[in-house]
Structure 1
Amino acid sequence: MNSFEPHITVATVVEQEGRLLFVREMKGGQAVLNQPAGHAEFGEDLMQAAYRETLEETAWRVEITDLLGWYIFQPKPGGGVYYRTCFLARPLGHDPHQKLDTGILEAVWLTPEELAARDGEHRSPLVQRCVDDYRSGRRLPLDAIYQHPWPLQRG
């Protein structure tokens, strides 16, 4: 019997002057390309997680503007399942003093064509799929996500 291991993740597609923001990061001893992405933390809503992950991985402050969609990925049978909520954001400014997360080599701006030419470096098939959906014009309203207020913590 396989156990079910869900991973709740977020990603952000950020465009500036025809280029998209990506991270080069280490995975399994290889440098790979991904959108700024990561796991939502306890007590954090998905938009907060997307903002935080983008800042921590790229040093860019962004404004989350739209929801791109939900993506489900299982890298191998019997392994964990990744539930990715992908947002769109516009860049507000770069913080040169922000230290990048461990494992992040650099933030890079690539055109969609440059990304496609480097498909062997994509962390997962979701990297290209999110770009394709973005380029198709998909935009979902942020209020498509309802976040019930967290209960007050009592100490």
Structure 2
Amino acid sequence: MTTPDNPSDVWRPHVTVACVVADRDRYLMVEEEVNGCVAYNQPAGHLDDCESLQQAAVRETREETGWTVALTHLIGVHQWRSKEHGDVIVRFTFAAKPLSHDSQQALDVGVRRALWLTRQEIAALGGRLRSPMVLLSIDEWLAGQRLPLSVVNCLMPEGTAP
């Protein structure tokens, strides 16, 4: 039983961010090694302490792909239990437009490369997609699901612990 008296006993999901970065009919993807297997995902990762969700999405995209992006919308918030580690993921997925690319930037550990794929090519990856949220996010974006960025707020001062 969890109690407010012992915060370390409170269950917490992993909070992650991802970006659907579209360039005409292609989407920015990451090929990565996960537990010895190759998997494909949008640029994505965990929220760091003292960071807004929007900052995390831009940072993760740059670290995993070398692309600097500008967020345009929130596509959705998805909850999923990972088969990889069994924990629950709460993922905030943003739409972003590509601004510039640094081809010399070293990519995050585990990331093999960034690549641009069509929706059809992504769907054909099937079980090699990191999660069902990958294709779901693209399909929601294609269906026009776009929320203003103003629906996501960060109420802690930048650079301070919560």
TM-score by length of 1: 0.92
- Per-residue CA deviations over 1:15-53 (Å, capped at 9, x if unaligned) read 112100000001111000000000010100000000000
Q: Distance in 2 between matches of 1:122 and 1:152?
A: 34
In structure 2, do the counterparts of structure 1 residues 148 and 105 end up closer, same or farther at CA, with 3 Å as the change threshold?
same
Partner of 1:129: 136
Q: 1:47 aligns to what?
A: 54
CA distance in 2, matches of 1:151, 1:93: 25
AA matched with 1:117: A
| CA–CA separation in structure 2 for the residues paired with 1:151 and 1:127 | 30
Q: CA deviation at 1:97?
A: 1.8
Shift of residue 5 of structure 1? 3.9
- CA offsets 1:88-128 (integer angstroms, 9 cap, x no match): 00000110121100000000100001111111210111111
Contact 1:66 1:141 in 2 (8 A): yes
Residue from 97, 110, 118 that aligns with 1:111: 118
Gap runs ≥5 in structure 1: none
Give percent identity, aligned residues only.
44
1:43-122 equivalence runs, <5 A: 43-76=50-83, 79-122=86-129
* Alignment partners' CA distance in 1, 2:99 and 2:74: 18
Shift of 1:150: 2.4
SS in 2 for 1:72: strand
- SS of the aligned residue for 1:53 comes to helix
Contact 2:50/2:158, CA 8 A, preserved across alignment: no
> Runs in 1 of length 4+ with deviation above 3 angstroms?
151-154
How much does 1:153 deviate? 4.8
Is the alpha carbon distance of 1:153 and 1:5 closer, same or farther for their aligned partners in structure 2, counting shifts above 3 Å? closer
1:152 deviates by 7.2
Are positions 1:30 and 2:63 aligned together? no
Aligned partner of 2:151 in structure 1 is 144
Task: Say which SS state the counterpart of residue 154 (structure 2) adopts.
Answer: coil
Cα distance, 1:75 vs. partner? 2.1
Kept in 2: contact 1:5–1:79 (CA 8 A):
no
CA RMSD of aligned residues (A): 2.1
Counting matched residue pairs gives 153
